[in-house]
Structures are given as structure tokens and as C-alpha cells.
């Protein structure tokens, strides 16, 4: 049997074209599954993330049910901040909320005084959850992940979820020195969280810069991309890397995180694309050295099966324009999704849907 590092997912991320794209779903572990909702009763989100048996079981649920080609570690982008001692909780139906928003230069100084190495020391529950999960998964690869510096900052500076992330984007221009100190520190936080998962056995990683699409290309290049690269680049050449954001059409080429400077020491192996940009157009922008991931429109999960199936087939056909393709949604599984629809998409991708 192939090992996880020889799995269809890892091979596609490395650029090997296959007859059928491997498939997994962002937020496949979560509220769309009744078995998840049952397990979560009485346990707060971040407590669940830091309870190894529970986090592992939740990670495995969608693999058993849907037969996806990869597991994605059940955790959250704010977990490493909690491990660093930052006061944060996840409000159901809303998202991450911080007790003390990080808005001024002195707020940034206070936060960045924390040594990111503290995360690695406090990460025992994450390490244990990954180890249990990898042992259970056998041949199926586990994808580890982290939030990218900008997406983390979008929550931290605001103190909670926001639509246009005005405060974080404002800090870039009002106080660039503080912004770069904050984003540089967050890059170390993201990298620490990814490293812990890789060291414990994750076969690939995804950096989520979900809100990068709110930035102008100029701001993305000047204030964000160097920090995302700092988070991910130390892993280049170890496990395959995926870089994902929503609404990133105008910055898609930048999402490869190529260092135009001195020595081109690598790039993200794959770029995740949302539903707005057809994958053949994305492939033309990304070029011959990048795998594409995506991009079934989550809105179509409620359409009649023949409509959705035609859409899935179209996504797969357009994905052939890239060097390789990993089938996914354009963003996370909506909580109200009928899970049987996801199972059927997997079967279709595997050529088993009649
Ligand atoms: O994809 C997976 O299955 C792995 C688990 C995962 C979660 N969050 C679990 C979760 C991953 C990869 C994340 C990443 C994450 N968290 C992102 C980036 C991905 C994206 O969707 O763009 C972001 C922006 C967050 C922040 C966050 N955490 C939000 C916006 C929410 C939703 C709040 C809500 O209730 O609507 C969370 C909570 C969260 N993270 C849930 C899950 C399963 C829901 C918690 C619950 O079950 O009550």
C-alpha cells in the first residue's frame, strides 16, 4: 500500500498529473456532520481543539464518511495564539474574539514580547492529536494548517470578525513599523504551529490567508506577502505546501510566494482558488510550476444533483489546464450542507458515481 508521502494528494501537490484529481474539502470536519455536532455537545470549540482524543476523532470523521483523499487537522487558526497565552475564544456563529484588541504601537510591543518558541512548548496537545490521527489514518495523508499573518491580524487588530478588515489594513499605512512588527511576529507564530504539525506527522500543510482578497495588490505585495512567505518558506522542500485565500484573483500570481530576490529558494507547491475564477484561467496565471486546488462553488451544494454534477465535471475539466489539480470547494463547507452531497462529490471524483 502507498504511504501517505506517496499518496495521490502528495503526488498532485508535487506536480504529478493523475487521471483523477484527489479530493478533500476545507472545513470537512465540522458542523455539517451530525456525528461532529453530537461529539461537540458541552465542549467549547478551543477546548475541543486542545483535547487530543476529541480533535483526532473529529479529524477522522469526514475521512470515514466521505472517503476523501486527505484529512485536515481539526483545529483553528487562533489555537497557536491561545497557546502563546493570548486571551481568545470562539463565539458560535460569529468567530474568534480577542479580549484585548491589538491596535496601538504599545499593544503590538506587548504582544510581540511573547517568544513564539513558547507555542512549541505549549503545543503538547496538538502534537499528541496529530500523532494519534496519523497512526489511525494509515495511508491517508493528514494536512496541517495555520492562519497566515494578515488573516490572523485581521481578527487581532479588530478584536473579532470584521467585513473589510479596515483596522488591520489601516495600521499598514498609519504605523507601518508596528504593522511589520506585528506581521513578522505572526509569521513566526504561523510557522511554529505548522512545524509542530509537520514534526508530528502531517504530510502536507495549507496556509489560510482567507481574507487576503480584501487587500489591494500593492498592499498585498508590500505589507503581506513577505510575512506569509516567512511563515511558509522554511517548509519548502520538506512537505508540500498549499496557499489559499478568498477573492485573490488580482493577486493570484503573488500567492505563489516566489522570492524574486537573490536565490529563488522555492515557492508554494499549490495555490487554492475560490469559485470566482475558473481553474483554466487560474492555471494560465499561475504557470507550469504550480498545482491548483479548488474550486467547486459552495453555493451549488444546494442545487439539484445533475446541476452540481455538471459543475463538478466542469471544475475537473478546467483543472486539467494546470500541471496537476486537487479538487476542493472554493471555500469551506457551509454548516448547513447536506453531507450526503459531499460524499457523492467524492464518489464522482473517484469515478464511482453512476
Ligand atoms: O477545515 C477543517 O475541517 C479543519 C478545521 C478548521 C477549522 N477552522 C475548524 C472550525 C480550519 C482549517 C479552520 C480555519 C479557520 N478558522 C479559518 C480559515 C479558513 C476559512 O474558513 O477561511 C478562519 C477564518 C477561522 C476563524 C474561525 N473559526 C471562524 C470564522 C469560525 C466560524 C465561527 C462560526 O461559528 O460560524 C471558527 C470556528 C470554527 N473553526 C468551527 C470549526 C469547525 C465552528 C465551531 C463550531 O463547531 O461551533
**Per-residue exposure over 323-338, b if at least 16 CB sit within 10 Å of its own CB, e if not:** bbbbbbbbbbbeeebe
Number of helical (H) and strand (E) elements in the chain, helices listed first: 16, 9
Average pLDDT over residues 297-324: 98
Position 47 pLDDT exceeds 60 = yes
Short-list 177, 165, 207, 168, CA closest to 26? 207
Beta pairing partners, 294: 327
Position 1 pLDDT exceeds 70 = no
Domain segments of the chain: what residues? 4-349
Residue 256 annotated as catalytic: no
At 132 the pLDDT is 98
Average pLDDT, the chain: 96
Q: Are 295 and 273 in contact (CB under 8 A)?
A: yes
Q: Does the CB atom of residue 58 touch ligand 1 within 6 A?
A: no
At 263 the pLDDT is 52
Ligand 1 pocket: which of 64, 90, 162, 342 to mutate (most atoms within 8 A of CB) = 90
Average pLDDT over residues 132-160: 98
At 354 the pLDDT is 65
Of 36, 65, 103, 155, which is the active-site residue?
A: 155
d(CA 113, CA 272): 33
d(CA 242, CA 38): 31
Q: Does the CB atom of residue 179 touch ligand 1 within 6 A?
A: no
Residue 353 pLDDT grade (very low, low, confident, very high; cuts 50, 70, 90) = confident
Q: What is the third-level CATH fold of 4-349? A: TIM Barrel (3.20.20)
Amino acid at each position: 500500500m502507498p504511504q501517505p508521502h506517496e499518496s495521490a494528494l502528495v503526488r498532485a501537490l508535487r506536480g504529478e498529473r493523475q487521471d483523477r484529481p484527489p479530493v478533500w474539502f476545507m472545513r470537512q470536519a465540522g458542523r455539517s456532520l451530525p456525528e461532529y455536532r453530537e461529539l461537540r455537545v458541552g465542549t467549547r470549540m478551543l477546548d475541543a481543539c486542545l483535547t487530543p482524543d476529541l480533535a483526532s476523532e473529529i479529524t477522522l470523521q469526514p475521512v470515514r464518511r466521505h472517503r476523501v483523499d486527505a484529512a485536515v487537522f481539526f483545529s483553528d487558526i487562533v489555537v497557536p495564539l491561545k497557546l502563546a497565552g493570548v486571551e481568545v475564544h470562539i463565539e458560535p456563529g460569529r468567530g474568534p474574539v480577542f479580549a484585548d484588541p491589538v491596535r496601538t504601537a504599545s499593544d503590538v510591543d506587548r504582544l510581540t514580547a511573547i517568544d513564539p518558541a513558547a507555542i512549541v512548548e505549549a503545543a503538547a496537545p496538538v502534537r499528541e492529536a496529530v500523532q494519534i490521527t496519523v497512526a489511525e489514518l494509515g495511508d491517508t495523508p493528514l494536512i496541517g494548517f495555520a492562519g497566515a499573518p494578515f488573516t490572523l491580524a485581521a481578527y487581532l487588530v479588530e478584536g473579532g470578525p470584521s467585513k473589510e478588515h479596515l483596522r488591520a489594513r489601516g495600521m499598514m499605512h498609519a504605523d507601518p513599523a508596528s504593522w511589520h512588527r506585528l506581521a513578522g511576529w505572526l509569521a513566526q507564530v504561523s510557522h511554529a504551529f505548522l512545524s509542530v504539525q509537520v514534526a508530528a506527522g502531517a504530510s502536507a500543510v495549507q496556509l489560510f490567508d482567507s481574507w487576503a482578497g480584501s487587500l489591494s495588490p500593492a498592499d498585498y505585495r508590500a505589507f503581506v506577502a513577505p510575512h506569509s512567505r516567512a511563515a511558509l518558506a522554511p517548509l519548502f522542500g520538506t512537505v508540500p505546501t498549499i496557499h489559499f485565500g478568498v477573492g485573490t484573483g488580482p493577486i493570484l500570481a503573488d500567492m505563489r510566494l516566489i522570492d524574486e530576490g537573490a536565490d529563488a529558494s522555492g515557492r508554494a507547491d499549490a495555490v487554492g482558488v475560490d469559485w470566482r475564477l475558473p481553474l483554466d484561467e487560474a492555471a494560465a496565471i499561475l504557470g507550469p510550476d504550480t498545482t491548483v486546488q479548488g474550486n467547486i462553488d459552495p453555493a451549488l451544494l444546494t442545487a439539484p444533483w445533475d446541476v452540481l454534477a455538471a459543475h463538478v465535471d466542469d471544475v475537473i475539466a478546467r483543472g486539467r489546464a494546470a500541471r496537476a489539480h486537487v479538487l476542493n470547494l472554493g471555500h469551506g463547507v457551509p454548516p448547513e450542507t447536506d453531507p450526503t452531497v459531499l460524499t457523492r462529490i467524492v464518489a464522482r471524483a473517484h469515478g464511482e458515481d453512476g
